[in-house]
Structure 1
Amino acid sequence: MGLRLKLFILTFLLSMVFSETQGRRTIEKPGPFDKSDHDVFEVLGSGGINNGALQVTPDSGGDFDLSKKSGRIMLKESFKIHDKVARVASFNTTFFINIQNRISTSSHGEGMAFVIAPDLVLPPGSEGQYLGLTNATTDGKATNRLVAIEFDTFKQDFDPNDNHIGLNINSVKSELNVSLSDSGIQLVPEVAKNFTIWIQYDGLNKILQVFMVGEKNPEPAERRPSVPVMTKKDLDIAKYVSEHSYFGFAASTGSAIELHCVLGWNLTVDEAPEDEGLMIEAKIALGVGVALLVILLAGWWIQRILYKKYKTANDPTIRGTLQSLPGTPREFRYRDLKVATDNFNEKNKLGQGGFGVVYKGLLSKESLQIAVKRFSRDNIKSKDDFLAELTIINRLRHKHLVKLLGWCYKNGKLLLVYEYMPNGSLDAHIFCGAEKETLRWDLRYQIISGVASALHYVHNEYEQKVVHRDLKASNIMLDSSFNARLGDFGLARAIENGKTSYAELEGVPGTLGYIAPECLHTGKATRESDIYGFGAVVLEVVCGQRPWTKIGGFCFLVDWVWSLHRDGRILEAVDERLRGGYVAEEAERLLLLGLACSHPNGSERPKTQAVLQIASGLLPVPYVPPFRPAFVWPSAGAVEENIDSEYTDDSTVTISH
């Protein structure tokens, strides 16, 4: 019997046996949130979705009293948490919150909670100490059918202090309390801080763990702490929550007030199976028999290993593409890269993106430090990502690009090996926090000039036109002399000769704040949209603020800088941490260049040749209007007329938040 036929028979049998086993559902809402999210969330009580966040209780906008309010914001779809034979769902959730009081630093309350609830209802009278969970009549009753993790900021008689987390089961009186002060965490600090929280529940072993870290930077932490702030063993949530339940957030204020904002949220639930699956399993077990299934599994597993080895050694797509590459880049042995990275140890992790993880390594025999990118998406997508990046970066040669050293393909594992950049990424130096000295002005200016040079090369000087499609500070690496090296070409694409566009079916990639407005309308990225991303980087480096920073009453950095330009105060945008240690003429030039590159209409943005000359002072900055122009949709005739210009080389891309 052939391998494929055996695999088909096994797959068919297994699909019958396990058709009703646990299914995984994932909700990814990294934020910012907007009105369209009302399709996903049910807003209850006094909450709302505005200012880019889930405001579980009212935000500070509007002329109304913020005290004695309660609210919930829940996912509209329910999840199967358990069934009648006590099979319980597991779940992992990560959310990014901000709790602050803008009125008083001495009095704040009451707190917020992550909640699993039986319905989309907010109990009346749930303000104050009840955290939007229960009320004076229902508190403590089993009929509440809820489990919550509270983040409590007001001390009641039954609380340990005004800065703790707790496990709440049908009541606001916690089953388990943990003071956060012991972990050096203050839920409502004097200086506003965001918190990333991970909650993991193992439905098989009945263990709940909560991890938490505070962030000064306005974005979620990428790495979970190794030690949880709270652990609860032998917690069978099936005893407390409904079979089908809802996930979300609850919060309240009392006489003392505060803001409760959720800035981003990911949730993955391995749901319990539907009950009718038991009958299917019983029928299959009687018909096939456990012994036959074990034999089939053993045979399938052995043949799978042999087939995988054969396929790996003879993959025509990978091998054929590599053999056709000019200059055939070096092939590294997997075991050498494994040793170099200490078996891809977490301590050597340099960063993580949508396509994979990058590790620091040392090839001892060559005394060579390297950066190894291991692709982590599913097998087919990883091959596409691997080949796309390799075929682009292999042919690029420029002093301001990260240099590719080679590749590795072993047992289905795909890796690219790059030159190691000892000073890491640009954003790590711009957004370094108070514990690290900020980047000097001369280095910032040098870095911007280097990125401009690299961008001009890939747009115009290379044999094909290449669009990077993900230009941002975290993708700009720094060598030992703080020279810029543009990296991460995972989204970059070359446009074929004679064509003006590259198209994908998945949408627009990149990061919000760096994506040009026309991309959100057309679903296409161009060399001019790369220029928009460059403009965002310029403002980011000069101002020391993220592109999406809310500042001066504006939602985005570019709008704030434009308002200062209008008022003749543009130098006020320069990073305060420089303390005047910059050249005013250079700073003004770069700020105006950043605004020119951020023009809402792509055809008005300068080309890379002009950008280089402006940065070096050889060319004056083009006129920047005092008010940011409105986005204007180009007419079909205008697009046709400029079909061969730099600004019409379109590439379709997918948006990644």
Structure 2
Amino acid sequence: MPLIQLQLASPTMKHTSFLQQFVFLFGLIVTTLVSGDDQFLFSGFSQPSLTLDGCAMVTDGGLLDLSNGTTVLKGHAFYPTPLHFRKSPGGKVQSFAVHVVFSIFISYADLSADGMAFFIAPTKNFSDARAAKYFALLNEKNNGDTSNHIFMIELDTYRNSELQDIDENHIGININSAVSMQSSASGFYEDKGGAFKNMTLNGNQAMQLWVDYNEGDTQINVTLAPINVGKPSRPLLSATYDLTTVLSDSAQYIGFSSMATPINTRQYVMGWSFGMNKPALSIDISKLPKLPRVGPKAQSKLLVIVLPIATATLILSMGTLVTLVVRRRLKYAEVREDWEGEFGLHRFSYKDLFHATRGFKNKHLLGEGGFGKVYKGVLPSCNVEIAVKRMSHESRQGMKEFVTEVVSIGRLRHRNVVQLLGYCRRKGELFLVYTYMPNGSLDKYLHCEEQNAILNWVQRFRVIKGIATGLLYLHEKWEKIVIHRDIKASNILLDGEMNARLGDFGLARLYDHGTDPQTTHMVGTKGYLAPELLRTGKASPHTDVFAFGMFLLEVACGQKPVKRNAEGNEVFLVEWVLEHWNNGLLIETVDAILQGDYNIDEAYLVLKLGLLCLHPFPSSRPRMRQVMQYLDGEMPLPELRKTELSVNMAALVKSNGPNSVTLSYPQITSSFCTISGLSGGR
């Protein structure tokens, strides 16, 4: 079948205005098409040549940019016409071949972020997909569901243990799931000698991907190679899987997806070819659009000639320059010590943080407490929003202990835990950099501190399950046991999709599985302190469960754990809930703002589970694994004996400590529990 190819104007017209416009519009984009939608080639792109969704866009230079430099958004690009992979309904999926030239750019080489995927799917509607973790194609509920009818090749630059990823730089073959059926570290096999050569997916370099499927032996081959290397004869991945069992009879859409993350990445597609029952057409590398320049421009010959003369001029101006440099260094001076090298956590420059927060201006202030202030910022190098905690310190030894603890917690990776991105130190100050949470803290929504900031019941129940999942990870699933010690609504942050994340680990403690925690400093917030913590000062997972129980009542009832009535007397939420329960009126404690619009069974479950977690005796409280089983309906909630919970409960709660307790290192005080509305690390 003959190809239809775009031709440029004749040489005699090359100096005309018309030709200049023609070259400007089409010179970077050369597209060849075959009628029948069974073979196409893109050497660069134009906006109308694709169907775009979310943050995906086509640059002026003809690059397909899947992430657009944004955060926590989905990006999709589709070939506009659906393709029939079967010759007839019920027939076998035909052979096909794909050739892609792509590049993944990342701002910080030592931080990893999610990658991109090539996919075949029966729909263009991925509104229910999650922006992160599931390649913007799936979500927690349908991941692995055979009714998805999705075939995907993932180019992943982030290791997610929940998805069984092998490393932070791999390629996988996926069927209806974000969990790869087969995966391999990124690289290629040389034709001469067969040696394996590693390749870095997010190395800011162009590279090639081939995907081939054979109808006869149902063989899937995936091959990777650098831009200047032809297609290797040995594929990187090879699997036998009949795609007839995956792709539906209907026409399918093919394209690319990505998810923009807090660690800014740019996923570019430079060229793309496809063939059905035909090879993918070869992509001419010389006709592809150019990638953004990385690093300084090359020096010209003129600069080499002029440089000696410029050097002499600079020497004459040295006195002035030295003065300016010294002032600048003093302005952005940092403190670096040898013991910091063992941490491995990304260290931001003070200059970047200073410019990100516009000089730590008050108009960017998010919150303030005994430890210092928290500012919203935007990193100038990658346009990523962050939250920066600015804390004062004086003790050198105390700061080493504190930074060691914070860095350990900084290795936590979970979708319901706010991520610590890095830190910075300068004389007398410590800066912690967190992912910015655009919707702020949960307490503003529960207690109506912002106009029209109301959560419905579905959102509240989702928040509860999210925080329970995060606590289960801290208590049982991470390499160490993490006791948070300050679980409350003001320390729960909401991301752009209103997902809950547990923040503010300033009071947290870590210890090894199978050992007992040694801390005896009582810390926390009034109303959330477990009775045994008041007696011994020793925190444990049981004390976290107690605070979580009070959090459950706070979310369900929309009331703070302790408040004052019109007479100035303290009223305890747990007493109020117990009183209604004893009178058979438990459901009347549900937040009146909801106006009865909630799931009664779920409301009963949350209230009773809250009371169970608030049991005076630690051994009678459930562990977080059991809490998740109750919330997921996998196990019925045990019968609660009213007399057992009621006896001495009021007395125990009323003795719930001082107004607030602060965490103290030697000569360092860091009170993290009095800020509300903090985004990032709260």
TM (normalized to structure 1)?
0.46
